[in-house]
């Protein structure tokens, strides 16, 4: 093969690597979009499931309300009928009560009239008794004169005696009549007092009867309005029931469609992720064939830094700073009161001692470098760059951005960086900047081996 053909082949490999990198960018951007769509689809599916559940509850509640409304309609109809019947009965009693009350008031008037008549009789009887006394006096005088007249006044004396006897009888009769009238007057007086009280009560009864009639009319009207409203409720419940009967199947159809769409998006997302893996493999293969891209200096740099980290950690084990077993400790112990949660392991302290002098210079190697940090095979990042290793405060959102050390990043990119054993791994991903904004990033990593055993990887993230 001539030098010219070798040069052309290398150019082809470089173009392949460049196209693979561009393809990876586009696929990752599309994957990020699908990730958002898939998340939204899951949320919609969850919301739709909740809506379906709620719709079922509404439908059941409407059935219960419709049954209750129908029952209430029957009960209200019976109540209206009973109220009308009771009102008619009470009105009849009211009419009779009014008549009785009127009769009582009339009785009081008649009692008063009788009392007045008895008073007149009493006065006349008094006059009769007075006259009888006068007649008696005259009879006594006549007897005296008859006695003086002697034989010639004898006949007159007999008449005078008869008149005297009659006057006594008249006086006695008048006395008895007076006594009887007095007794009768007392009775009539008591009857009048009672009649007056009854008459007052009767007046109140008449007023109450009028008020009761007004109240009954209002009750009848209210019951009729209530009955009309209950009938409207029953009608509306029937309409809602018909609507819900058609709503539930439609909702089920929508849920089926959303489920199919969600499954389709999920399947597409999985295929897109496999395409990302393929594009990364093409970049890896082109680099292995000798191809170079603008990422080449960074690839060389991260591989050198990973090799340095491996050597420094092996030295720490050799000096007895940490044992080989502790260097591979996978028990992550939570830091109390951390939010988001931070964890520590047996090797965290050693990483804090070794990694800063390797990781911090990486921030000055290229202006596009955002961070440089080592992660183990589970994505645990014990020691971050100093600017991302601030002490946690009370704001979890601030902590999320500024306190990224001692955290486990077990997302796709983090896990692949920690578990890759190839000389390097170049990944493209979208970094969530908050507020729905994303920035396209590259994650370049190289494996860290400690005494021949794979520990994790050194990540170098940068913009492009």
State how far the Cα of 110 lies from the Cα of 113, in Å rounded to an integer: 5
User: Which tokens go with 430?
Assistant: 């979208």
Place of tokens 């970049």: 283
State how far the Cα of 79 lies from the Cα of 72, in Å rounded to an integer: 10
**Chunked in runs of 10, what are the mean pLDDT values of the chain (464 residues)?**
54 60 62 68 73 69 69 70 67 62 63 67 68 70 72 67 69 70 69 64 64 68 70 71 66 66 64 64 60 79 97 97 97 96 98 97 95 98 97 95 96 94 89 66 95 98 90
Question: Other C-beta atoms within 10 Å of 9: how many?
Answer: 14
Q: What pLDDT is attached to residue 60?
A: 74
pTM across the whole model: 0.53
What residue spans define the domains of the chain?
61-248, 294-463
Q: What pLDDT is attached to residue 410?
A: 94
Q: How far is CA 283 from CA 218, 293, 433, 448, 459, in A?
A: 90, 9, 27, 21, 17
Residues 61-248, CATH architecture: Orthogonal Bundle (1.10)
Helix/strand/coil percent split, the chain, to 5: 75, 10, 15
| Secondary structure letter of residue 389 according to DSSP | B
Tell me how long the chain is.
Answer: 464
State how far the Cα of 34 lies from the Cα of 101, in Å rounded to an integer: 92
Same fold, 61-248 and 294-463: no
- Strands (DSSP E) contained in 313-364 are 333-334, 343-344
Question: What is residue 398's three-state secondary structure?
Answer: helix
CATH, domain range 294-463: 3.30.450.20
Q: What pLDDT is attached to residue 90?
A: 63
Whether a cis peptide bond, with omega within 30° of 0, leads into 392 is no
Question: Other C-beta atoms within 10 Å of 312: how many?
Answer: 16
Q: How far is CA 200 from CA 91, 104, 105, 365, in A?
A: 21, 9, 8, 114
Q: What pLDDT is attached to residue 49?
A: 74
User: How many helices and strands, by DSSP H and E, does the chain display?
Assistant: 9, 8
Q: How far is CA 65 from CA 48, 52, 69, 146, 239, in A?
A: 25, 19, 6, 115, 12
State how far the Cα of 314 lies from the Cα of 319, in Å rounded to an integer: 9
Q: What pLDDT is attached to residue 40?
A: 72
């Amino acid at each position: 093969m001539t030098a010219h053909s070798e040069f052309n082949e290398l150019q082809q490999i470089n173009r392949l690597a460049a196209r693979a990198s561009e393809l990876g960018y586009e696929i990752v951007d599309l994957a990020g979009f699908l990730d958002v769509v898939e998340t939204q689809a899951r949320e919609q599916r969850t919301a739709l499931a909740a809506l379906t559940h709620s719709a079922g509850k509404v439908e059941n509640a409407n059935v219960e309300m419709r049954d209750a409304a129908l029952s209430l309609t029957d009960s209200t109809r019976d109540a209206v009928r009973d109220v009308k019947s009771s009102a008619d009965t009470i009105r009849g009693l009211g009419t009779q009560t009014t008549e009785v009350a009127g009769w009582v008031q009339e009785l009081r008037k008649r009692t008063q009239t009788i009392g007045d008549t008895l008073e007149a009789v009493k006065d006349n009887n008094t006059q009769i008794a007075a006259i009888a006394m006068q007649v008696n006096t005259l009879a006594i005088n006549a007897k005296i004169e008859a006695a003086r007249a002697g034989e010639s006044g004898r006949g007159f004396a007999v008449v005078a005696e008869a008149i005297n006897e009659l006057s006594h009888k008249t006086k006695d009769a008048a006395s008895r009549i007076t006594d009887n009238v007095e007794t009768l007057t007392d009775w009539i007086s008591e009857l009048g007092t009672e009649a007056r009280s009854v008459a007052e009560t009767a007046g109140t009864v008449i007023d109450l009867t009028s008020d009761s009639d007004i109240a009954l009319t209002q009750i009848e009207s209210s019951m009729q309005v209530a009955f009309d409203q209950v009938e409207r409720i029953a009608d509306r419940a029937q309409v809602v029931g018909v609507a819900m009967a058609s709503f539930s199947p439609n909702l089920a159809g929508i849920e089926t469609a959303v489920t199919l769409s969600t499954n389709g998006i999920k399947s597409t997302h999985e295929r897109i992720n496999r395409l990302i893996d393929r594009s990364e493999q093409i970049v890896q293969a082109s680099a292995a064939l000798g191809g170079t891209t603008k990422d080449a200096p960074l690839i060389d740099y991260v591989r050198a830094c990973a090799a340095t980290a491996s050597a420094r950690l092996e030295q720490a084990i050799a000096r007895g700073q940490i044992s080989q077993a502790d260097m591979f400790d996978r028990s992550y112990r939570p830091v109390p009161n951390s939010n988001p949660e931070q964890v520590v392991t047996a090797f965290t302290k050693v990483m804090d001692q070794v990694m800063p002098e390797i990781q911090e210079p990486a921030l000055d190697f290229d202006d596009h470098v955002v961070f440089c940090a080592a992660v183990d095979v589970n994505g645990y990042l014990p020691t971050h760059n100093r600017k991302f290793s601030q002490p946690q405060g009370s704001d979890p959102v601030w902590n999320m951005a500024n306190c990224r050390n001692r955290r486990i990043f077990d997302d796709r990119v983090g896990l692949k960086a920690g578990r890759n054993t190839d000389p390097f791994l170049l990944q493209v991903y979208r970094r969530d900047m908050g507020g729905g904004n994303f920035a396209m990033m590259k994650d370049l990593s190289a494996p860290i081996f400690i005494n021949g055993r794979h520990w994790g990887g050194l990540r170098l993230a940068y913009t492009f």
